[in-house]
């Protein structure tokens, strides 16, 4: 069964600190892996998208890594800000015609002053 | 570019009534639109996929007669929750895909539905 698992479920860090979120997947065939930020009561906003051949991709203070061999990804947030408080969702797109998205359950990040 | 809007953002209705939610791609034409439902502290769950001018494809377990989807144009899709019940209360999110490239899917801001 195609699944995406994320850890930790929730995380509290102090403003200015770094953190790393993890994502493991069993989706096959694989097309791409995405990280989204979802603020409470809002739709997801794309942070990064990586294909099979990409190992790392950055978007400002967000850096995602992908190990397609072990089927693991991480999202590293540098110098966290209060506005980073949100749910971070790892999403894997199935290969094939539909490109169906398989969503992880997310990591709820709280950045405290 | 690539903005997707939803209307309304919040709706409260009485049990038994029908509610229509609109999803619009504001600055691009969407070949495909998707409807998701999200319960508190859970991930998004795909309800259905719709292509302009054709019938929607529903995921297993989603009642097509209860959740009516109309993709009337390349910029507008509507989801109608018919005879809504309290258990239909949820956060409904649409997304729109521009073209067929894998990275061309954009999410709307969501609609919070509360059925009393």
Q: What is the pLDDT of residues A23-44, one digit of tens each?
A: 999 998 898 999 999 999 899 9
Structure tokens at B67: 């959740």
CB B84 within 8 A of CB B63: no
> Between B43, B46, B108, which is nearest A43 by CB?
B108
Residues 29-58 of B with CB under 8 A from A: 41-46, 49
Number of neighbouring beta carbons within 10 Å of residue B58? 18
Local confidence pLDDT in tens for the 116 residues of chain B: 689 999 999 999 999 999 999 999 999 888 889 999 999 888 899 999 998 878 899 999 999 999 999 988 889 999 999 999 999 999 999 999 887 665 678 999 999 999 99
What's the CA gap between A4 and A69, in Å, rounded? Answer: 15
A-B CB pairs within 8 A amount to: 41
| Of B94, B95, B111, the residue nearest B103 (C-alpha) | B95
What's the CA gap between A57 and B2, in Å, rounded? Answer: 21
Contact check, Cβ <8 Å, B44/A89: yes
What's the CA gap between A53 and A68, in Å, rounded? Answer: 8
Q: Please state, rounded to an integer, the average pLDDT across all residues of chain A.
A: 94
Of A80 and A31, the structure prediction assigns the larger pLDDT to: A80
Contact check, Cβ <8 Å, B107/A106: no
Contact check, Cβ <8 Å, B102/A41: no
Show residues of chain B in contact with A33, CB under 8 Å: none
User: In this predicted structure, what is the pLDDT of residue A28?
Assistant: 87
Under 8 Å CB-to-CB from A74, ≥6 apart: which residues? A20, A21, A22, A23, A64, A65
B62 alpha carbon, distance to own chain's centre: 13
User: A30: nearest CA in chain B?
Assistant: B102
Under 8 Å CB-to-CB from B40, ≥6 apart: which residues? none
Of B60 and A96, the structure prediction assigns the larger pLDDT to: B60
Contact check, Cβ <8 Å, B110/A93: no
What is Dmax (Cα atoms) for chain A? 46
User: In this predicted structure, what is the pLDDT of residue A98?
Assistant: 67
> CB distance from A68 to chain B under 8 Å?
no
State the number of CA atoms in the 13 A half-sphere of B32 facing the CB.
16
> Between A43, A93, A98, which is nearest B93 by CB?
A43
In percent, how much of chain A has pLDDT > 90? 81
What's the CA gap between B23 and B42, in Å, rounded? Answer: 22
| Of B2, B51, B71, B101, the residue nearest A99 (C-alpha) | B101
Structure tokens at B104: 């061309």
User: In this predicted structure, what is the pLDDT of residue B102?
Assistant: 59
């Amino acid at each position: 069964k195609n699944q995406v698992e994320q850890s930790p479920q929730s995380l509290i860090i102090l403003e200015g600190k770094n953190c790393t979120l993890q994502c493991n997947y069993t989706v096959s065939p694989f097309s791409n892996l995405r990280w989204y930020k979802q603020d409470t009561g809002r739709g997801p906003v794309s942070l990064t998208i990586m294909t099979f051949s990409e190992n790392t991709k950055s978007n400002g203070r967000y850096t995602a890594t992908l190990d397609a061999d072990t089927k693991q990804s991480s999202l590293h947030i540098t110098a966290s800000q209060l506005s980073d408080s949100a749910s971070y969702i790892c999403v894997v797109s199935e290969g094939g015609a539909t490109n169906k998205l398989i969503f992880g359950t997310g990591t709820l990040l709280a950045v405290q002053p | 570019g690539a903005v997707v809007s939803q209307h309304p953002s919040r709706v409260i209705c009485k049990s038994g009534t029908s509610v229509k939610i609109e999803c619009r791609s504001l600055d691009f034409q969407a070949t495909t639109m998707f409807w998701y439902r999200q319960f508190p502290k859970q991930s998004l769950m795909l309800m259905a996929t719709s292509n302009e001018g054709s019938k929607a494809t529903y995921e297993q377990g989603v009642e097509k007669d209860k959740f009516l989807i109309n993709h009337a144009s390349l910029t507008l899709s509507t989801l109608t929750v018919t005879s809504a019940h309290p258990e239909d209360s949820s956060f409904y999110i649409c997304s729109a895909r521009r073209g067929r490239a894998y990275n061309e899917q954009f999410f709307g801001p969501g609609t919070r539905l509360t059925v009393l």
